[in-house]
Amino acid sequence: MVVWSDHVAVWSGPRSQGLAVWSGCVVWLRGMAAWSGRVVWSCRRGPHDPTSRNMFPPNLVQAAGFQYQTLLTRPTDEELAAYREKVGNDSAEMPKEMFKISGNYREGSNIIGLVVFAIVFGIVISMMKKQGEILLQFFTAMSEAMMYLTRIVIWLSPVGVCFLIAAKILELESFSVLLGQLGMYFLTVLIGLTVHGFVVLLLLYTLVVRKLPFGFVANIVQPLATAFGTSSSSATLPLTIAALEEKNGVDPRIARFVLPIGATINMDGTALYEAVAAIFIAQVRGVTLGLGQIIAISITATAASIGAAGIPQAGLVTMVMVLDTVGLPAGDVSLILAVDWLLDRFRTTINVLGDSLGAGIVNHLSKRELEKMGAHDGDVIKVENGIEATQM
């Protein structure tokens, strides 16, 4: 969402995406994960990724290839027997204070540390203003080059993806079990997207605008259908702008400012999908996720979705970052490829819906500012009976 008041535009896309992530996590952990009972909210044993420490890596070179982890080593059987004899209880468990704690670095990019550095570095560049323009142009060009490279890989990927899926299927002990889990994963993502898109976002619009959102949503059915068909929020952008300006009366200055930013940054559906997908893959692999790792997944999914491009299945590229955060191999993305092409259409639709509702909220909050700006520029916005008309 974007909030524009008193001539200040504050991007709060991560907040909306954070809601999406936690909606998906809650639906999966509370509703579906109990189906197999593999996801455990426990921090008593095994390696636990200290998120706060990884947020501040000692250097970027190390962060590119290694993550810090804390190892909580259980006492030996001899130590446990001695403790039980001491307390006189044959079933007593040793207190956590007696566990041995050690730390080391394991292979895998420290995505959280890199993202934190990128955010701070970006803020500093923006504060430098003209002096930072060279760096801004450099990183913009690098981003475009990487996107071009990604498009080439996407064009060449169908054959490779086919063999990836085949290899993963052969590794599985029970294919029928995977089909059942994949169906539950598909259903979970759909439920999460539905709750976030048609409950959370519509409720937010209603509370801010003080108006039922059904008419607003009905006027953007064509862009939503196009988003579902193309799986690209960027390709849908012209239709979204036209629908908001012509049917919903959103000021062109708002629509043409908010929507392009939203198509690039605000990826609610993608954030939710990446969080649920990471938990699902961990469940299939039998990996126990602690609370710290759940939080790490949520933070990384929100940050990674901001960097996802508005092209079909761009979430798969950033999905690798989320998996790497909890030490899952990037190759496990192939476990969800069978249904990702369809889920991509649903999450793109939610992305476009969030952008449109955000533009509607900004338009409502900025009426007075727009009138002053219009009077100053000779483009007066008059509001009569709730209908906005532009005089040239």
For position 198, what pLDDT does the model report? 92
In the chain, the amino acid numbered 257 is: F
CATH number corresponding to 9-377: 1.10.3860
Model confidence over 67-99: pLDDT tens digits? Answer: 777 776 777 777 777 877 887 777 777 676 667
Residue 95 parent element (H or E):
none
Is the full-model pTM beyond 0.85? Answer: no
Q: What is the DSSP letter of 332?
A: G
57, 214, 284, 358 from 361: Cα distances, Å: 39, 14, 40, 5
Q: How many residues does the chain have?
A: 392
Long-range contacts of 146-155 (CB under 8 A, 24+ apart): 147/309, 150/309, 150/314, 150/317, 151/311, 154/311, 154/313
Of all residues in the chain, what percent carry a pLDDT higher than 70? 72
* Side chain identity at residue 190, one-letter code: L
Pairing state between β 387-391 and 380-384:
antiparallel
For the chain, the structural domain boundaries read 9-377
Of 11, 29, 15, 1, nearest in space to 275 by CA: 29
pLDDT tens column, 116-152: 888 888 889 989 988 888 998 998 888 788 767 766 7
User: Residue 168: its pLDDT value, please?
Assistant: 63
Q: Tell me what pLDDT residue 150 has.
A: 64
Per-residue pLDDT, 314: 65
Mean pLDDT, the chain, rounded, equals 75
Low-confidence ranges of the chain (pLDDT < 50): 1-15, 22, 26-49, 375-392
Q: What are phi and psi of 103, to 5 degrees?
A: -135, 145
What DSSP element (H or E) covers 68? strand 66-73
